[in-house]
Amino acid sequence: MIRLKNIHKTYAMGSNELHVLKGIDLDIGAGELVSIMGPSGSGKSTLLNIIGLLDTYDSGEYQLDNRTIKRMSESQAAYFRNRFFGFIFQAFNLISFKSAVENVALPLYYQKIGRRKRNAIALEYLDKMGMRDWADHLPAELSGGQQQRVAIARAMISKPKVILADEPTGALDTETSYEMMDLLKTINQNGVTVIIVTHEHDIVKGVYFKVIGAFESRKEGDEAEEETQAVFIPFTVFQQAFNYGNIVGWFSLTARKDVPASEVEKKAIAFLAERHQVAPNDVHAIGHWNTEKEYKKMTNLFIGINALIWFVGTCTLIAGVIGVSNILLFIIKERTREIGIKRALGATPFSVIGQIILESVLLTTVAGYFGLVFGIGITEMAAAAMKRVGGGSEFFKNPEVSLTVAATALAVLIVCGALAGLIPAKRAVSIRPVEAIRNE
C-alpha cells in the first residue's frame, strides 16, 4: 500500500543544510500496524508528514496504493488526505471553539455532507469512543484522554485506509497512554493500516517493528536497559550529520542582578580575544548577543507601536479596507494551526479562500454599518446637547440615511470586503499544512 524508495529530505538551516531523511526505503502493506521509533530530531515526524502528504520530499519515489506521488497539486493532496488518511496528533489539534461533535464531523464537511447527516455520523463515532455524553462539550472542558478519543473519532469518521498517529500518547499519562494504544490496536484489527510515531518503547509493547541493528551493553541494571533502547553512532558520523565538527557553536553567560550585562559582555569578549589571539580591532571575530540591549530595543519598539496605534485610530475611517485586511492577516496568523488542521482534514484551497473572503465581507459590512449607526447617534446627541445650551443645531438636524445610500453602501462594503480578504486568503492558502500544524 505504501512504498518509499530512496527518499531524501533536506531543510535549510541558515547558511547550512540539515539532511533529515537520507535514502529511506520502506514498505507498509494493507492492514499492518507499524511503529516508527527513534530519538527526538531523528526525522520520525518528517517521514510521517511525507507519507500523509503534509510535506514533500526532495528526491526518491513514493507510491501510495500503486499511485506515484510526485508534484501533486494542493487540491489533489487535500482530496487524498481527506479520503485516504486519518490524522492523530500529539497536541490533539481540536478546534477550540467547536464542540466535540463538530470537531469529529469536520472531515465530512469537506466531503460536502449535510450538517444534520454529518453530525449524526459523528455522534455514532463518539459513541464508539465512549464519548457520546460529552458530544456538546468544548475541548477545554475535556481531559487529555477524552480529547484524544475525540481526535481518534475524527480520524476514523471518513473511513480512511491509513491512520497516521504522531506521538499520540506524548501528552497523556501512562495509564491513558495504554488505553490509547489499545484503541489503535482495535482499529488495526478491523483492517485499517496504522502507523505510529513514538519514542516511548514501553507504550508499543506487543507492536511488531523491524530491527535494523542490535547493541549488547556491558553495563547492568537500568543503565544497560537505557543503552539497549538507544541507537549508537560514531562521533564522527554525528559531527558530519549535524555539521558541527569540533566547533563550539555558542554558550551563554548570566550576569548578577547588580551587574549590567554590557560589562559582562565586554569582559567575556576581551577574555576570548586574548585566549584565541584575536586582534583588538577585529569586531567580527567573536559573535555576541546582549539580551539586555535587545530588551531595551523591544521596549522602545513597543512604545513606538503604541504611538502608531493612536495614529492609526484617527485614520480608521480613511483606511477601513486596509485595516480589515491587516486584521484578517493577524487573525490568520493566530489561526495558523486551525487552518493547518482543516487543510490536513481535506479542506481545498478554494474552500479556505472562500471562508476568509466571507469573513472579510461580514466583518467589513458589520463594521461599516456599526460606524454608520454610531455616527448618527453621536450626531443626534450633539444636536440635543447644543439645543439644551441654546446653541444652533441646524447642521445636526434630523440625521438620516436614505435606502438608496444604504443599498449602495452595502454593495460597496461587500466589494471592499472581498478585496480586503484577497491578500489574507492568499496568505492562508500559501501556508503549508505541515508548517501550520507545527506552529504554536
Three cell numbers written together for 22: 537520507
Nearest CA to 129 out of 183, 190, 188 is that of 183
Give pLDDT, residue 359. 81
Three cell numbers written together for 42: 531523528
User: Using an 8 Å Cβ cutoff, are 55 and 434 in contact?
Assistant: yes
244-253 residue pLDDT tens: 566 656 677 8
For the cut 90, the answer to whether the pLDDT of residue 134 exceeds it is yes
User: Using an 8 Å Cβ cutoff, are 17 and 44 in contact?
Assistant: no
CATH number of 2-204: 3.40.50.300
Residue 155: CB atoms within 10 Å: 26
Q: Which residues contact 96 (CB under 8 A, 6 or more apart)?
A: 138, 139, 140
Instruction: Match 548578577 to its residue by C-alpha cell.
Output: 256
Residues 153 and 160: their CA atoms lie apart, in Å, by 11
Give pLDDT, residue 137. 94
Residue 334: CB atoms within 10 Å: 10
For Cα atoms 408, 317, 412, give the angle at the middle one, nearest 5 degrees: 20
333-361 residue pLDDT tens: 777 777 778 777 877 888 888 888 888 78
User: Using an 8 Å Cβ cutoff, are 352 and 359 in contact?
Assistant: no
Length of the chain as a residue count: 440
Give pLDDT, residue 225. 61
Taking each continuous run of H as one helix and of E as one strand, the counts in the chain are 15, 8
Give pLDDT, residue 101. 94
For the cut 90, the answer to whether the pLDDT of residue 136 exceeds it is yes
For the cut 80, the answer to whether the pLDDT of residue 373 exceeds it is no
Max Cα distance, the chain (Å): 100
Give pLDDT, residue 379. 65
Q: What is the average pLDDT across 80-93?
A: 82
17-61 residue pLDDT tens: 888 888 888 888 888 888 887 766 778 888 888 888 888 888 999
For the cut 50, the answer to whether the pLDDT of residue 209 exceeds it is no
Q: Record the pTM.
A: 0.54
User: Using an 8 Å Cβ cutoff, are 413 and 368 in contact?
Assistant: yes
Give pLDDT, residue 310. 59
Three cell numbers written together for 236: 564522527
Confidence label for 377 from pLDDT (cuts 50, 70 and 90)? confident
Could you say which DSSP state residue 304 is in?
A: H
Give pLDDT, residue 250. 67
150-181 residue pLDDT tens: 988 998 898 889 988 888 777 677 777 777 78
Q: How far is CA 420 from CA 11, 188, 252, 328, in A?
A: 34, 47, 45, 8
Share of the chain above pLDDT 90, in %: 9
Residues 194 and 188: their CA atoms lie apart, in Å, by 6
Domain boundaries along the sequence of the chain? 2-204, 261-300, 315-438
Exposure of 116 in the CB half-sphere (CA atoms within 13 A): 0
More confident residue, 241 or 141: 141
Three cell numbers written together for 40: 527526538
381-397 residue pLDDT tens: 766 776 666 554 444 45
Q: What is the mean pLDDT of the chain?
A: 77
Give pLDDT, residue 436. 66
